[in-house]
Every structure is written in C-alpha cells, then in structure tokens.
Amino acid sequence: MKIIIVGCGNVGATLAEQLDKEGHDVTVIDVKEKLVNNLSDACDVLGVVGNGASYSVQMEADVNHADILIAVTGSDELNLLCCLIAKKAGGCHTIARVSNPVYSREISFIREELGLSMIINPQQAAAREMARILKFPSALKIDFFAKSRAELVTYRLEEGSPLCNMQLKNMGSRLKSSVLVAIVEREDQVIIPNGEFELKAKDIISIVGTPVKTIEFFRKLGIPTASARDVIVVGGGRTTIYLAKQLLEMGVRVKIIERDKERCDELSEMLPKATIINGDGTDKELLMEEGMTRTEAFLSMTDFDEENIMLALFAKSLSRAKLITKVHRVAYDEIIDNLDVGSVVYPKFITAETIIKYIRAMYNSMGSNIETLYRLCDNRVEALEFYIKADSPVVGIPLQDLKLKKNMLIGCITHRGQVSIPKGQSVIEVGDTVILITTTTGLHDIRDAIR
C-alpha cells in the first residue's frame, strides 16, 4: 500500500520503520529537513520537506495515489487539518493523532463528521494498556484474539513454580487445564515449543486460552489473579488522568503523587474520588509514608524516563507491588527490559502499534486469506487468523496427524463462534477460523504451514 506519514517524531519514525519493513511504500512529510533526512537515511522511505497540511506538499507526496495518510505531528489541530485536506485531495483513508483531553469526549463526533478512519489518542491508549495490565497483574502482557474470545497471556516463570522442569505434554494431565503454551522466550531465543519441550525457571511463556481457562490455570499454579485494588501513581500527567478514571470506575483505590500544586488542584477537580498527594514523588520518605511497601501496584509515570526507571527499581527493592513504568524513549527498550522493572509501557510504541494493527487489518482485507495478523515478542512471532475454506487441505485431519512445518502451532480454533484450545484429537472443519502461531513470517495461507 502507499502510505503517507505526516510528522517524523518518535511515533512517525517507528511507524515508518515498521511499515517499510512490511513492504509498504512509505512517504514521510515533516517541516524539519533534518528529521526527514535522518529518517530517509535510516529506512527505505521517500522524504518530503514541508507543511503536511499544505495541499501542494501533499500533492508532492502523491496523495492522490495514496491509500492512507497518517498524521502524527505534535499538534492535534494540524493533524486534523492534514487529514481533512488529504480526504479532499486524495480521497484516501486518514488516521490522526489527537491527544488533547478536551477533544477526547467528542472524538466520535470529530471522526464521523470529518470523515476520518481512525483517531488515536496516545495517552488514552497507554492508559488503557495499563488498566488492562492492572486487571491481571501477574501477567506481563495480554493480547486478545478472535474478537476477544481468546487471549494470549505472557508471564515470567518464577523459581520454584510447579511448571519448572515440566514437559509440556505432561502439563495437561498434571494441572487438568486446557491451556496451551504457545511461545517461550528463553534468553535471546524465541521458541514455538512442542510436547517434549521442558520449561525452566525465568522463561517467559505465553499461553493461549479462553479468559476463564487462563484465570483457572493461574489459580491452579497459585498465582494471584485478582486485579489490583490499591494503586500508587507518581506523576499527574494526561495519561494518569485517563488511567485514574478507568481505575476508579473499576473500584480501585488510586493515590496520585504530583509535585505541582496547581496541577494537584486540577487533578482533584477532575478526579474527585482519587487521593491526590502534593509532594515530590522521588522523595523516599514521602513514598514510605504513603504506604509504598503495602500497595498492590506502583506506577511511575512522571515525564522523565530516568526518574521513572529509578522509581521502579526503588519500588522493586522495597515492595512486592506490581510495577508499571512509563518510558517515552523507544530506542533503549532492550536495555530497559533487562532491568526487570515489571511491565514497561511505551506510549509512543503503543500508538504506533495500534495504527499498524489497523493498517494490517486494512491491507489483509484486500484479498488474502488472513483475517487478522498480530505481531508478538518484538515482531519475532506472528499470530495469524485464517478462515478455513472448503478446499483447504487441513480439513478433517486430527491435529496429531497434521504435518505442520517447524515452528508452527495451531493456537485456537473457533467453531461456530465457540472457541476451543486444540488437542491432538481436535479436527478442523470447514467454516472454522484458526489461529496459527509461528516464528516464520510471510505466510499467506494455511496451506503454507503444511509440509
């Protein structure tokens, strides 16, 4: 597809890099020549210098042949204007980043009346992700499949867990649980395990199951599954407001520590139910006083990455709280992941990821058997949802007899709207949708998975 991205900031750059890798024709627009040059050096995209909301600049980027325009500059109004002009000039799909909370209540009106395909609010998306993590604090990450009827829960095996040194084929009988270990990350490796695979401590495993079954599975392992009831948030930015609103609705006690007095007044006005503490969140005494050792979850969400990481490390040393750290800079994610500071949330990355998911869905709906495509584990694993047609070679064969290629796994089968986790005897029928999890990229059809 031909894609135009306006704004070469962090989000724009992440998007450009990822979309280029997926084989799309990407053109980037920014006012700053340097940013455009850097980006077109770093990946295979065409750069145009100029104001993205200008008609002539958009024409130079060939907007009348583009399929989609994504406006992710720092300014909401400029983004909306870019999309409006692109809509009129090229008739393409448009996506805008709009983050001002003032607009957030009117988002669907704006989207419909201005004819946008999608509006993304980075802070809100980050807040949603954090809320999801807090609902099930034991997991590092949760992804949803099959219209949210199945989920993939990522979790780190602790030392002494009953799963350690267990072969996967014995798991079903010992735990009496019908979930499937789909992906194992061990050190640098990503493995799609088979029955003989033996789990070890410190592995990061991702399991597929229906929401009910995964909760049951974790309960059997003795891992807490209830959502956090008590949360401390350091930093009162926009993300905090969105998050606090969601958490308060869920009935969670929220305590926000914010340095700026005026901001505290605003927060208290907007979030009457939350406890607002005016103080320096990096002050050790204050944190101890406010019960950091007893809290169930601790979120470091100041505007400074370094402060957030330091706070998370400090909290880790004193409490057993679930940690969530907000990090803006995307470039050092590997190092931060090594620090083991719980769940790290990158708002910019989430924004890019959400947009990319939308584009993939759009692209895949243009003729191909893939219903949806998800990229997991740093893009090293793909989960593809296929619709099974009448002539498919996988129909009617029990899975244990189906010769799949290496590193392929059928993760779940949806039969007449009923999600089931496959066993060896399971059979795929015509009209089912299946989810295939694989480390091989570029599959187009389920028959590509068969030997």
Partner 1 sequence: MNFSIIRYILSSVLAFEGIFLLLPCAVGAIYGEREAFAYLFVAALSICFGFLGRVKKPKSKEIYSKGGLVTVSFSWILLSLVGAVPFVLTGEIPRYEDALFEVISGLTTTGASILNDVEAISRCTAFWRCFTHWIGGMGVLVLILAILPLSGSYNMHLMRAESPGPSVGKLVPKVRQTAMILYAIYGVITVVEIVALMIAGLPLFDAATLTFATVGTGGFGLLNSSIASYSLAIQIIFTIFMLLSSINFSVYYLILVRKAGEAFRFEEMRWFLAIVFGSALLITFNIKDGFDSLFMAFHTALFQVATVISTTGFATVDFNLWPEFSKSVLLFLMFVGACAGSTGGGFKVSRLMLLARSIKNEIICVAHPRTVKKVHMNGRMMSETVLKTVHVYLGAYVMILIVSVILISIDGFDLETNFSAVMATLNNIGPGFGKVGPTGNFSGFSVFSKVVLMFDMLAGRLELFPILVLFHPGIWQIKYGWRSDREVSEQEA
Of the pair 69, 231, the CB lying nearest partner 1 is at 69
Of the pair 40, 300, the CB lying nearest partner 1 is at 40
Q: Of these, 8, 15, 45, 421, which contacts partner 1 (CB under 8 A)? A: 45
Token representation of residue 92: 């393409």
Q: How far is the CB of 23 from partner 1 (least distance, A)?
A: 8
Q: How many helices and strands, by DSSP H and E, does the chain display?
A: 15, 22
Q: How far is the CB of 443 from partner 1 (least distance, A)?
A: 18
Q: In this structure, what are the phi and psi dihedrals at residue 437, rounded to the nearest 5 degrees?
A: -110, 130
CA dihedral 71, 73, 74, 80 (to 10 degrees): -30
Handedness of CA 437, 438, 442, 443 (dihedral sign): negative
Q: Of these, 33, 260, 303, 337, which contacts partner 1 (CB under 8 A)? A: 33
CA distance 436 to 382: 8
Task: Write the CB contacts of 262 (distance below 8 Å, at least 6 apart in sequence).
Answer: none
Q: How far is the CB of 51 from partner 1 (least distance, A)?
A: 14
Binding of residue 249 to partner 1 (CB under 8 A): no
Q: How far is the CB of 48 from partner 1 (least distance, A)?
A: 10
Q: Of these, 9, 11, 12, 27, which contacts partner 1 (CB under 8 A)? A: 27
Binding of residue 227 to partner 1 (CB under 8 A): no
Q: How far is the CB of 188 from partner 1 (least distance, A)?
A: 13
Binding of residue 68 to partner 1 (CB under 8 A): no
CA distance 71 to 61: 13
Instruction: Characterise 182 by phi-psi region: left (phi > 0), alpha (psi -120 to 50), beta (else).
Output: alpha
| Pairs from 173-177 (Cβ < 8 Å, separation ≥ 24) | 175/217, 175/220, 175/221, 176/220, 177/213, 177/216, 177/217, 177/220
Of the pair 19, 409, the CB lying nearest partner 1 is at 19
Binding of residue 378 to partner 1 (CB under 8 A): no
Beta-strand runs (E) in 351-446: 370-376, 381-387, 408-415, 418-420, 433-438
* Contact stretch for partner 1 (CB under 8 A) within 23-31, 124-132, 406-414, 422-430: 23-31
CA distance 212 to 219: 11
- Write the DSSP assignment of 69-119 as a string of letters: EEE-SS-HHHHHHHHHHHHHHH--EEEEE---HHHHTTHHHHHHHHT-SEE
How many chain residues are in contact with partner 1, going by CB under 8 A?
Answer: 13
Binding of residue 46 to partner 1 (CB under 8 A): yes
Q: Environment class of residue 348 by beta-carbon count within 10 Å: exposed (0-12), middle (13-18) or buried (19+)? A: buried
* Contact stretch for partner 1 (CB under 8 A) within 18-26, 79-87, 169-177, 425-433: 18-26
Answer yes or no: are the C-beta atoms of 5 and 16 closer than 8 Å. yes
Binding of residue 26 to partner 1 (CB under 8 A): yes
Of the pair 41, 265, the CB lying nearest partner 1 is at 41
CA distance 444 to 169: 29
Of the pair 272, 442, the CB lying nearest partner 1 is at 442
Of the pair 42, 361, the CB lying nearest partner 1 is at 42
Q: Of these, 44, 283, 303, 340, which contacts partner 1 (CB under 8 A)? A: 44
Binding of residue 2 to partner 1 (CB under 8 A): yes
* Contact stretch for partner 1 (CB under 8 A) within 38-46, 106-114, 207-215, 294-302: 38-46
Q: How far is the CB of 37 from partner 1 (least distance, A)?
A: 9
Q: Of these, 9, 31, 38, 43, which contacts partner 1 (CB under 8 A)? A: 43
Binding of residue 29 to partner 1 (CB under 8 A): no
Binding site for partner 1 (CB under 8 A): 2, 20, 25-27, 33, 40-46
